[in-house]
Structure formats: structure tokens, C-alpha cells
């Protein structure tokens, strides 16, 4: 229950808890220490020992952290294996030598896409029948919102954090190489001003067209999507890629990547490009900004694609897994 609500995992946690079946009791563990601490599995085990759930229950984590000692069945949601690819050697070693054995002792693992499930199975060696897919979904606010943010310029939106694998330097370079700056179309990013990206934009000659909006309120984010000319999400790696479906729910065309889970989530409802190619990204920006037929085609397909991702269905699938694990214990 420690995941911050404004994070991706926090949003999943909140959506699942809101839809918990009445037949189940939910006990929030009072776990000490930070979520990201390497000792977090031990802290969870300690909290479980002090909880009545340790005698009759199932441990579930909306994030990736299993308990170190498992006296009850455990179900853990794994969103991606980013730490193996884009973090330090310490992170990779921690996953390979510590978390992997703990995952193997879990009763069930829930992955958020088929891509993540395949990667997790290849890496962990777990039996396939213990690893399921439960898709993330999109908040109803995006589907219901009809109000667009009123900025003083047309803009391409990147919604997300600024970690290196989000590929933002290439996005800025592609934006600079495209026709958009000359058309007075700007590039807008959520999050605080990133000085490294500002300096990169200066070198590319588009710093006056780059804007950081800081932390956007939850109620304002759907409006920001709705007002965008398009959403550019050309990450190098995603276990799911929530901004793709948030854009589709907002009726906005999407430019995304041909790697990891993004093609699976986007289906045929987005323009998909090689995220390592600045030229391909620039061409995609040009096409989505100028080709109205293509834009409307993708918006229409997006409305169909987004129906695949429904929190009510996802929550039922998750709690059914938890229930089966409990009954078979």
C-alpha cells in the first residue's frame, strides 16, 4: 500500500483496490523503510509476521517486491524488467541473484503485457502456468473528458518522466529535424525543467519551442492530452506504455516505438517507428502533424483499441488469480 498514487504502480494499486470483491478483506501492511530499499523484502516479511494475514491470507504487491520469507502464498505484479537493461550493474545483480529466487517461490506472478510475460518467463525460468497477464487500463477521466488545455501554441505532448530510456534526447533531435518548429508547433513535456534536455535543445536550436509543465494535477492531465496535436511516446523500453492508451482515450493520435510492449498496446492504432532513428521519429512527427486523413484514421482505430483496456475486467482477472491462489493453498 506504499506506492505513491501519482505513480504508474500507484495508479494500478488504487484501481485494483477500488474494485476489490466484497468477499475479500484487504489488510494494508505497515512496512518500514523505503520501497526501493534492497532490504524491502525483509521489511515486508517483518510486517507480515506482525499481521493477522500471516496466518490466513495471500500477500499481493501491486509493484515488483516479494517478501523475503513466505509463510503465506504470494502474488506479485511485475510491470517490467527495466532494471536489467537501463539501470546500474548493482540493480541487475540484485534482480538476478536476489529477486529472481524470491519470484520463483511466489504462488503467482502477474505481468502487465504479453511482452513482459514472455521476457519474465525467459529470465526467471518460472513455470508458464504460474505467470499470467493482466493488462493495465485507462482512467475513466480520459474517456469522459471533453475539455482541452488552452496553451498559447499548438503542441506535441510527451507525458512521463525523464529517465534515460524514455529517449527524450532523440525526440528533441527529431523534433528539431522536423518541420514542426517552423510551423510554430512546440514540444511540451510534463515534469520539472530538465537542464540536460534544455542544453540539448539549445544545441539543436529549438530551446524556445521546448516547455516543461512541472507536476500536472490529475484533473488537468486529461485536458493536456486533449489539447495536444499528437502524443509522442518513443521510449526505448516499456512493460506496457500507459500514455499510449491515455492518448487514444483522449482522441489524440499517437507516435510510439516498435520495441518491447508498445506495438502490442498500440495495435494498429498508432504510428509506430524505430525509436533509435532520429529520421524515422522526425518523419513520424511530420506525418501526424500534417496528414489529416492519417490522423483521423488513427484516432478512430484508437477508440476501438482502447476498449481492450478496462479496469473492471483487469481487476476481476487479478482478484480471481488471488482467489485461486488462496483456495489452492
User: Per-residue pLDDT tens for 62-107?
Assistant: 999 999 998 899 999 999 999 999 999 999 999 999 999 999 999 9
For the full predicted model, state whether its pTM sits above 0.85: yes
Which CATH number characterizes residue 321's domain?
A: 3.40.50.2000
Domain assignment of residue 25, yes or no: yes
**pLDDT, tens digit (0-9, with 9 covering 90-100), for 165-212:** 999 999 999 999 999 999 999 999 999 999 999 999 999 999 999 999
In this structure, the answer to whether residues 194 and 47 fall within a common structural domain is: no
What integer pLDDT is reported at residue 53 of this predicted model? 61
pLDDT at 51: 80
Q: Are residues 147 and 171 in the same domain?
A: yes
166 and 278 inside one domain: yes
Task: Clarify whether residues 65 and 204 are in a common domain.
Answer: no
Do the Cβ atoms of 270 and 254 come closer than 8 Å? yes
Integer angstrom CA distances of residue 171 from 44, 125, 156? 39, 36, 11
Domain that holds residue 67: 8-137+310-328
- Structural domain includes residue 158: yes
Residue 129 lies in a domain: yes
Long-range contacts for 114-118 (Cβ within 8 Å, ≥24 apart)? 114/261, 114/264, 115/239, 115/260, 115/261, 115/264, 116/78, 116/79, 116/80, 116/81, 116/239, 116/240, 116/261
- 207 and 225 housed in the same domain: yes
- Return phi, psi of residue 257, to 5°: -100, 160
Same domain, 150 and 261: yes
Is 1 within a domain? no
For the chain, list residues with pLDDT below 50: none
Note whether 206 and 121 are same-domain residues: no
Q: Does residue 273 sit in the same domain as residue 133?
A: no
196 contacts 177 by C-beta, under 8 angstroms: no
Statement to judge: residues 154 and 83 lie in one domain = no
Answer yes or no: is 259 within a domain: yes
Q: How far apart, in whole angstroms, are the C-alpha atoms of residue 142 and residue 245? A: 9
pLDDT given for residue 241 in this prediction = 96
Is residue 273 assigned to a domain?
yes
2 within domain boundaries:
no
Confidence (pLDDT) at 110: 98
Is 3 contained in some domain? no
Q: C-alpha distances in angstroms, 139 versus 89, 133, 144, 301? A: 35, 19, 9, 19
Structural contact between residues 109 and 130, judged by C-beta atoms closer than 8 angstroms: yes
Question: Do 117 and 243 fall into the same domain?
Answer: no
16 and 95, same domain (yes or no)? yes
Residues 120 and 63 in one domain: yes
Number of domains present in the structure of the chain: 2
Amino acid at each position: 500500500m506504499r506506492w505513491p498514487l501519482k505513480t504508474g504502480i500507484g495508479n494500478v494499486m488504487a484501481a485494483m483496490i477500488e474494485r476489490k470483491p466484497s468477499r475479500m478483506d484487504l489488510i494494508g501492511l505497515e512496512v518500514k523503510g523505503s520501497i526501493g530499499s534492497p532490504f524491502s523484502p525483509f521489511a515486508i516479511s517483518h510486517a507480515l509476521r506482525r499481521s493477522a494475514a500471516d496466518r490466513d491470507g495471500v500477500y499481493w504487491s501491486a509493484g515488483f517486491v516479494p517478501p523475503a520469507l513466505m509463510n503465506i502464498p504470494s502474488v506479485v505484479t511485475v510491470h517490467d524488467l527495466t532494471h536489467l537493461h537501463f539501470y546500474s550493474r548493482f540493480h541487475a545483480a540484485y534482480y538476478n541473484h536476489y529477486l529472481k529466487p524470491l519470484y520463483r517461490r511466489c504462488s503467482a506472478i502477474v505481468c502487465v503485457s504479453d511482452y513482459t510475460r514472455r521476457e519474465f518467463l525467459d529470465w526467471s525460468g518460472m513455470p508458464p502456468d504460474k505467470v499470467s497477464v493482466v493488462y493495465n487500463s485507462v482512467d475513466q477521466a480520459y474517456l469522459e473528458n471533453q475539455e482541452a488545455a488552452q496553451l498559447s501554441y499548438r503542441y506535441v505532448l510527451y507525458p512521463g518522466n525523464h529517465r534515460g530510456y524514455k529517449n527524450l534526447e532523440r525526440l528533441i533531435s527529431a523534433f528539431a529535424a522536423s518541420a514542426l518548429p517552423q510551423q510554430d508547433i512546440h514540444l511540451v513535456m510534463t515534469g520539472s525543467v530538465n537542464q540536460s534536455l534544455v542544453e540539448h535543445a539549445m544545441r539543436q536550436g529549438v530551446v524556445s519551442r521546448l516547455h516543461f509543465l512541472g507536476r500536472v494535477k490529475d484533473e488537468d492531465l486529461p485536458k493536456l492530452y486533449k489539447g495536444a496535436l499528437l502524443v509522442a511516446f518513443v521510449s526505448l523500453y516499456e512493460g506496457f506504455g500507459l500514455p499510449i492508451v491515455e492518448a487514444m482515450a483522449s482522441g489524440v493520435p499517437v507516435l510510439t516505438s516498435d520495441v518491447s510492449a508498445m506495438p502490442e498496446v498500440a495495435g494498429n492504432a498508432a504510428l509506430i517507428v524505430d525509436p533509435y532513428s532520429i529520421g524515422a521519429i522526425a518523419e513520424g512527427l511530420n506525418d501526424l502533424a500534417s496528414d489529416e486523413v492519417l490522423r483521423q484514421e488513427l484516432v478512430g482505430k484508437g477508440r476501438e483499441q482502447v476498449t481492450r483496456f478496462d479496469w473492471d475486467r483487469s481487476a476481476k482477472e487479478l482478484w480471481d488469480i488471488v482467489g485461486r491462489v488462496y483456495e489452492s493453498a
